[in-house]
Structure 1
Amino acid sequence: MQIQIADGLPLVELRLGHAGRAVRIQRVLIDTGSGSTVISSLRAREIGVIPEPQDPIRTLRGVGGMEVVFVKRVDYILVDRRRFKNFEIELSPLDYGLEINGILGLDFLTATRAIVDLKHLELRFGRATKEI
């Protein structure tokens, strides 16, 4: 999958699927410094993925400060025609002053054995990787 550089950031596109519905999400940041995968709560809402009282809550800490997020498990994340099933995401308004709709974090990148090739601006998945 081709990585797009916009505003100095490495961005890709994915599809998020849940309960028979899917949404295409553009401007998703590849972030090896983020431990988790975070999706815009507004974009996830488009397919009915919303925070509910029984959902776990986490506090994220980073350079920009702290943020409380809801944890959800979705049916799949589709990246470059590869479907990764039953994946845990965090929902956030992503109000960071950047125009992004999600973050592919280290949890996704390691689980999928992703290869971030900055020379060729490609995101690939290791040969041993199978759909998860």
Structure 2
Amino acid sequence: MKSLYLENGLLLTEMTVVFRGEALTLWRVLVSTTLQHTALSVKLSENLGIVSDDTVENQFQKTVDYVSVGPLKVKDFVIQVTDTADELQVDAIIGLDFLKKVGAKINLDSMTLSGSRVI
């Protein structure tokens, strides 16, 4: 179970992304049930060494070792690297792809995110 918090009307949490064995913990991660794909800030992707051979308008996909939100973890996960997170002033966005894979349950009474499976 992972804690959630509200900041300026946004539902936020923390997330860890591991790429080629290097971990980066992201502290301001938007939980979105409207965006299809999980997205990482372009600026922070560079900190992890995630770059694209064919970057088009600061948007591309990369497979990372894993993404975890508390105990919820998905291995070999494809993330979008996009300036959308930068525009929203968050480090990353957890999208429906991650939420569906872990069988996410968002409890707004207890402000927690839990899931039914680890992939």
Same fold (TM over 0.5): yes
Cα-to-partner distance string for 1:9-53 (whole Å, 9 max, x where unaligned): 100101110111111111110000001101001112111111222
How far off its partner does 1:69 sit? 2.0
How far off its partner does 1:81 sit? 3.3
Q: Which one-letter code corresponds to 2:89 in the other structure?
A: E
How far off its partner does 1:68 sit? 6.4
Whether the aligned pair in 1 keeps the contact of 2:40 and 2:92 (CA below 8 Å) is yes
TM-score normalised over the length of structure 2: 0.90
**Range with greater deviation from structure 2 (31-40 or 68-77):** 68-77
Whether the aligned pair in 1 keeps the contact of 2:104 and 2:113 (CA below 8 Å) is yes
Aligned residues: 117
Unaligned 5+ residue runs, structure 1? 58-66
Q: Which runs of 4+ in 1 moved over 6 A?
A: none
- Name the larger-Rg structure: 1
Alignment-derived partner of residue 29 in structure 1: 30
Q: Which one-letter code corresponds to 1:30 in the other structure?
A: V
Cα-to-partner distance string for 1:87-112 (whole Å, 9 max, x where unaligned): 0000012342x321111001110011
Alignment-derived partner of residue 109 in structure 2: 119
Unaligned 5+ residue runs, structure 2? none
TM-score normalised over the length of structure 1: 0.81
Matched position secondary structure for 1:103: strand
Alignment-derived partner of residue 108 in structure 1: 98
Q: Which one-letter code corresponds to 1:107 in the other structure?
A: D
Alignment-derived partner of residue 8 in structure 1: 9
Alignment-derived partner of residue 81 in structure 2: 91
Percent identity reads 30
Matched position secondary structure for 2:48: coil
Whether the aligned pair in 1 keeps the contact of 2:28 and 2:90 (CA below 8 Å) is yes
Matched position secondary structure for 2:3: coil
Residues 34-49 of structure 1: matches in 2 within 5 Å? 34-49=35-50
Give RMSD over aligned pairs: 1.7
Alignment-derived partner of residue 77 in structure 1: 67
